[in-house]
Amino acid sequence: MMNVLSYQHFPIYAIMVLFLGAFLIVLFGKNKIARSCLALLSVTGSLALLVSLVPRVMLNGEIITYWMGNRAYAGGYAIGIALEVDALSLFFALLIAVAVFVSCVYSIRYMEHDDNIPQYYTLFLMLAGGVLGLVLSGDLFNMFIMVEILTFAAVALTAFRNTARGALEAAFKYLVVGSIGSTCILAGTIMLYAQVHTLNFAQLSALIPGHLNGSTRVAFALLFVGFSTKAFLVPFHPLAADAHGAAPASISVLISGVLTKSGIYGIIRLVYFLFQSMGLRPIQFMLVFVGSVSMFVCVTMALAQHDFKRLLAFHSISQIGYVLTAVGLSTALGISAGLYHAMNHTIFKGLLFLAAGAVLHETGTTDLDRLGGLSKRMPHTTVLFLIGAASISGIPPFNGFASKWLIYQAAYLRAVETGNIGYLLVTIIALVTSTLTLASFVKVSQSVFFGRLPEEFKDVKEVPFGMRFAMSLFAILCVLTGLLPDLVTKLLSGPAAQAVLNPIRYIAAARGIEMPVENAALPQAAGAWSPINWLLLLGIALFAITLVALLGKYDQVSENASGEKLPAKYDLFFSGEKSVYSQVGGGDLFWGFKHNWRHYFSFMHDLHSGVVNDYALWAVVALALAIAFLQIVL
């Protein structure tokens, strides 16, 4: 019998702490301090437990297999409920725990003026526990149960501010299409069980590759589509926009940083472990195709948005497209780059959503056409936002660039290796998408933080310290993971990528067989990029230039005295259109670009009808296409 404090128990404790917190908050949540403490304690505990596993799992390559109630096998089949934690699981679990922790810190001040706060924290912790359970589970059916828990918690939280316009509608859409996804996962699970009589991941992975027949192919398609809805890949992207637009910012962090990652995690487990199918070109094609389409379609959709949070939502999927594409390249460099980007996405997108939440908290709106000039009123938020924006747009030396750069390298190397011109196209799409991302964040900077400050926001104040603190945590992570790519690869994404490439170890570990870690060399990129050295150079150059400038009296400036705004009666026209003044409307800022793409944009506009029936239809069509594709080519 294992000691209750031994590390094998840590994964289940990490999940239990969150659910326990959820239930305790129901009991004691009336008191403000009690519920904040409980929530913080459970998320901190969960994070600490997972971090303590890093040396064993990441560095030594240990795989922790845990059977609940010590019931493992009967008649050669795994009947017990298993948790199996390899480097891949722990990698995603850490992302989740960090995002949940920061979001919880932020929630304390952000949600203080809402009603029903105890319910908020209960659902919040249920959602967190559900996602954590999903990535740590070693059992397909438990994964489905966790999917159910997290989907319903997420739906409820989307509609948490149900007096807000559109919140209920968003939750309803999410519920409908999310349920289709969950049903797909359930159906896929059942079909696999019918074929190989087990639900344990490791055992499934051992059996399925030998049982590839019509039924398992359909199951594959069902599971793939099911997890895609959780990751909001195209064609499920409109839901994400609605959900993010309505949900509180702290929940958006979870939906984009955590929920979508669980979908990606599911897809990786599915293709690399359960079916071990990444050697097959059609599967590689499917992943890279869906990834690239998501990447490009969603970035163009984001360019057309007028709402801060909806814009972020579309970018979220665009970045997930990068992750899926990189993972689909099925090279060590690609997988490692993809996972690295998944991590960075959680961090920078979390930061951006929190910044959007800060703007909403102070101004009451996220409409890009109405906002402007907040940088004078909210200087800290502006700096934090700019760090996040630079990260997502892939500006060196922030983290988004570090991982995207690896993805470009991986894609182009893959193109050269295979001689396949499709991968070349993917590289180009990835490079251009990054610039389009930059364009839309320049738009946000201009429309929200710079530009002219409208009259109605003259008295806006900076957000409370608690919220700025949470954002700063993410911002620091953005800089650190950007400056130390080698460390991240060595410690986090590298071991996870090795785990992905060695499903045999995972299968053996469930049987209690410890296989040696193959210390395959970490993938090397073709190019060179050392952010620390660059930053050093920039620092010296900037210091020197600033010094010269200051010696030349650069800082002796005069404020523009005549900049005082004259009373409105001196304006020629001051009502009507003039009063809802925006310099260039948010959605139309880059009309020089949009004009050339007008047919594409009007096509997209017609396609995204906002009617849930259409989206449900898309889900069904996607499923049909996936089944047909796999039946024909596999």
Partner 1 sequence: MFSLAFLQTALLYLGYILIFPGFLFCFVIGLLLCGIDRKAVARMQKRVGPPILQPFYDFFKLCGKETIVPAAANRTTFMLAPLVGLAALVVIQLFIPVFNFRVFRNLPEVADIIVILYLLLIPAVSVMLGGAATGSPYAGVGLSREMVTVLAVELPLVLVLLSVAKTVGNALGNGLVFSLSGIVDFQAAHGSLIGRVSMIPAALAMLLIIPGETGNHPFDAAEAETEICEGLLAEYSGAPLGIYKLSHAVKMLTLTSLFVALFLGGIGTGVEHLVAAIGLTGGFAAALSLILQVLILVLLCIVLTLVTISFVHAVTARLKIEQLFKYYWTVVTGLALISLVLAWYGY
Q: Is residue 530 a contact point for partner 1 (CB under 8 A)?
A: yes
Q: Is residue 568 a contact point for partner 1 (CB under 8 A)?
A: no
Q: Which of 69, 75, 559, 576 binds partner 1 (CB under 8 A)?
A: 559
Q: Which of 13, 73, 289, 590 binds partner 1 (CB under 8 A)?
A: 590
Give 162 or 596: the residue with its C-beta nearer to partner 1: 596
Give 527 or 610: the residue with its C-beta nearer to partner 1: 527
Least distance between partner 1 and beta carbon 219 (Å): 38
Span of 49-57, 255-263, 407-415, 455-463 interacting with partner 1 by CB under 8 A:
407-415
Contact 26/122 with Cβ under 8 angstroms? Answer: yes
Q: What are phi and psi of 528, to 5 degrees?
A: -135, 140
In the three-class reduction of DSSP (H, G, I as helix; E, B as strand; rest coil), residue 336 is classed as helix
Beta strands in 29-76 (DSSP E): 64-67, 73-74
Q: What are phi and psi of 523, to 5 degrees?
A: -60, 140
Question: What residue has token string 């359930």?
Answer: 186
Whole-number Å distance between alpha carbons of 22 and 128: 10
Q: Is residue 595 a contact point for partner 1 (CB under 8 A)?
A: yes
The count of chain residues that interact with partner 1, using the rule CB under 8 A, is 75
Q: Is residue 567 a contact point for partner 1 (CB under 8 A)?
A: no
Residues 7-20 as b/e (b if ≥16 CB within 10 A, e otherwise) read bbbbbbbbbbbbbb
Q: Is residue 555 a contact point for partner 1 (CB under 8 A)?
A: yes
Contact 351/471 with Cβ under 8 angstroms? Answer: yes
Q: Is residue 529 a contact point for partner 1 (CB under 8 A)?
A: yes
Give 545 or 607: the residue with its C-beta nearer to partner 1: 545
Least distance between partner 1 and beta carbon 364 (Å): 21
Residues 386-405 vs partner 1: string with x where CB under 8 A? x---x---xxx----x---x
Close Cβ partners of 421 (under 8 Å, ≥ 6 residues apart): 415
Residues 332-371 vs partner 1: string with x where CB under 8 A? ----------------------------------------
Span of 292-300, 460-468, 530-538, 600-608 interacting with partner 1 by CB under 8 A:
530-538
Residues 50-89 vs partner 1: string with x where CB under 8 A? ----------------------------------------
Nearest to 250 by CA among 445, 493, 43: 43
> What's the farthest any 2 CA atoms get from each other in the chain?
89
Least distance between partner 1 and beta carbon 595 (Å): 4
Q: Which of residues 596-615 bind partner 1 (CB under 8 A)?
A: 596
Q: Is 531 exposed, middle or buried (0-12, 13-18, 19+ CB in 10 A)?
A: buried
Give 131 or 415: the residue with its C-beta nearer to partner 1: 415
In the three-class reduction of DSSP (H, G, I as helix; E, B as strand; rest coil), residue 394 is classed as coil
Q: Is residue 376 a contact point for partner 1 (CB under 8 A)?
A: yes
Q: Is residue 540 a contact point for partner 1 (CB under 8 A)?
A: yes
Q: Is residue 446 a contact point for partner 1 (CB under 8 A)?
A: yes
Span of 42-50, 88-96, 229-237, 583-591 interacting with partner 1 by CB under 8 A:
583-591
Q: Which of residues 447-476 bind partner 1 (CB under 8 A)?
A: 450-453
Distance between start and end Cα atoms, the chain: 46
Q: Is residue 431 a contact point for partner 1 (CB under 8 A)?
A: yes
Q: Is 127 exposed, middle or buried (0-12, 13-18, 19+ CB in 10 A)?
A: buried
As given in the structure block, the two tokens for residue 333 are 């460099």
Whole-number Å distance between alpha carbons of 514 and 509: 6
As given in the structure block, the two tokens for residue 415 are 């193109």
Nearest to 306 by CA among 586, 56, 89, 86: 586
Give 31 or 583: the residue with its C-beta nearer to partner 1: 583
